[in-house]
Amino acid sequence: MARVCVIGAGLGGMASAARLARLGHDVVVVERLEHLGGALGFLERDGYRWDTGPAWTTLPAVIRDLFRKSGRPLDQELELVPVQPLREHRFEDGQAVQLPWGNRSALRAALDEGLGAGRGDQWIGYLDRFAHQWELLRTGYLEHLYSPALVGKDLGRLLATRNTLHRAALRAFKDERLRALATSQATVDGHDPRNVPSWLGVSAYVEQKFGAWTVPGGMGTLATALTARLREREVEVQSGTTVMDVVVEEGRAVGVATAHGVLDADVVVCAVDPRRLPALAGHVRRTMPAIPPVVCHLGLRGEVPDLPHEVVLHGDPLLVVRTGGRAPEGGKAWTVLGRGRLAEDVVTALARRKVDVRDSLEVRVDRSPRELVEAWGGSPYGVLWQGRATLSQRMGTATPIEGLYCAGSHATPGAGVPFVGLGAALVAESVGKA
Ligand SMILES: Cc1cc2nc3c(=O)[nH]c(=O)nc-3n(C[C@H](O)[C@H](O)[C@H](O)COP(=O)(O)OP(=O)(O)OC[C@H]3O[C@@H](n4cnc5c(N)ncnc54)[C@H](O)[C@@H]3O)c2cc1C
């Protein structure tokens, strides 16, 4: 049995801790805030409740596997329900399309009807190109420890490609709207598609194949369930405690230095931005964080447009409206994420895009990117893509320091609920059984 110290109790830290405790280790989690979950959680105001971070996830198997491998199956704790349609896209030319998932003919019909005949086949043809890439990535990078020295030829070639998402979309489509469909998720996640490798487009394929899923009442419930799981697994939680650095002796991690003293450990898992820990900062000096969007939580009452759970309003700024918050009777709780040139107020920008809720506004909470980074001690969006080299410049699961592993959005395989979940599984696999 090893004494494991996990730094940070976001999804990455909690998932790693629960898995490692189940493997028989003695685990302590150190979290600077009083509550656990990081970006995964709720904000409540005047009877309204919004998810502060994720509103949905793809690859539901990742969450199911986490619960199964850390104790009882997920369905005994909480429900994961499919979200259909995936989202609605509204374009600057006034056209709109609601994308369903899991049904090719429905997808084809929706695109043909919304964007014009033939667009469905063009989009499906683009997605189909990712089927093989997905298998390569899944087997050699997402579900198994990735090491540049050990990957097979095909995966190595894919990961080393100079082709960018921007260029792939330009080549694949003449229609600007299809190009926007291919690149907008990267933009929403804080990246410039010109700096993102083309294989990241696999996320559109994954959404189509595995769908979008959420938890009734909000994804923040997942943090509550994981907090309970840590308690059951007798994981010690030191909340309200900031880790200042990893203690390294003779090239090996032997503990963490906190504001309250040193905690000895045989194994350390860093599930925070490694740029903030001096022992790791030098190893990731070429990386930059992907900054969160402007976030605006709205409590609405009265005549409110009926929108699907997510609507992307294309253009600059790019606005994403999420409608799944909890509101008092007769109200609606929306969250708006904004990217790009947001020179005007978010609600005014929405009205200009014909989503006018100015007369229905009852409560509003604005959170700037800086405020979010300060709240969580780093960006939950992980590392900014600055070209293909970013893959080797960010932390892998294992680090150059013996006994020190990395999980969370800043480590391989990256940000977002499914990838952070997969990263925690890779940490558990690396550390192994007690
Ligand atoms: C607005 C928003 C919307 C999002 N929407 C989605 C979505 O719909 N779907 C999706 O899949 N993903 C989404 N994401 C991304 C997803 O939330 C993150 O990738 C994921 O939750 C990151 O988890 P994490 O554990 O890496 O980091 P975090 O959630 O950032 O947690 C890090 C934790 O570490 C703590 N910490 C930091 N420094 C220290 C220290 N020195 N000592 C001790 N503790 C420390 C922090 O307080 C925090 O609790 C969204 C994110 C945001 C912000």
Question: Which of 429, 420, 428 minimizes the C-alpha distance to 18?
Answer: 428
Nearest ligand 1 atom, CA 30: 43
State which residues form the domain around 258. 3-43+61-78+218-287+379-431
Tell whether 265 and 363 lie within a shared domain: no
Tell whether 131 and 193 lie within a shared domain: yes
- Structural domain count, the chain: 3
Output the CA 41–ligand 1 centroid distance in Å.
10
| CA–CA gap between residue 55 and residue 41 (Å, rounded) | 10
DSSP β-bridge partners for residue 398: 405
Nearest ligand 1 atom, CA 15: 25
Query: Looking at residue 271, which CATH number applies to its domain?
Result: 3.50.50.60
Q: Under 8 Å CB-to-CB from 351, ≥6 apart: which residues?
A: 357, 358
Choosing from 16, 19, 29, 31 the residue with most ligand 1 atoms within 8 A of its CB, the one to mutate for a pocket test is 31
Mean pLDDT, the chain cut into blocks of 10 residues (434 residues total): 96 98 98 98 98 97 96 90 97 96 97 98 98 95 84 93 98 98 98 98 96 96 97 97 98 95 98 98 97 98 95 97 97 97 93 96 97 97 97 94 98 97 97 94
The tens digit of pLDDT for each residue in 215-243 reads 999 999 999 999 999 999 999 999 999 99
Tell whether 177 and 114 lie within a shared domain: yes
Confidence at residue 353, expressed as pLDDT on a 0 to 100 scale:
95
Tell whether 188 and 226 lie within a shared domain: no
Ligand 1 binding site (Cβ under 6 Å of any ligand atom)? 7-13, 30-33, 38-40, 53-57, 242-243, 271-272, 276, 292, 295, 337, 372, 376-378, 380, 408-409, 415-417, 420
ω into 73 cis (within 30 of 0): no
Could you please report the per-residue DSSP string of 372-421? Answer: HHHHHTS-TT-BPP-STTHHHHSB-SB-SSBTEEE-STTBTT-SSHHHHH
How many residues are given for the chain? Answer: 434
Tell whether 418 and 313 lie within a shared domain: no
Q: At which of 209, 238, 262 does a domain end?
A: 209
CA angle 93/194/138 to nearest 5° reads 105
User: Which residue's alpha carbon is at the smallest distance from atom 35 of ligand 1?
Assistant: 8
CB neighbours (10 Å) of residue 285?
9
Q: What is the pTM of this model?
A: 0.97
Tell whether 197 and 104 lie within a shared domain: yes
Confidence at residue 145, expressed as pLDDT on a 0 to 100 scale:
86
Q: At which of 175, 209, 243 does a domain end?
A: 209
Residue 238 lies in a domain: yes
Question: Hey, what are 24's tokens?
Answer: 């028989």
E strand segments, 229-317 = 236-238, 243-249, 252-258, 261-264, 267-270, 294-301, 310-313
Tell whether 260 and 394 lie within a shared domain: yes
Where do we find the tokens 């189509």?
A: 208
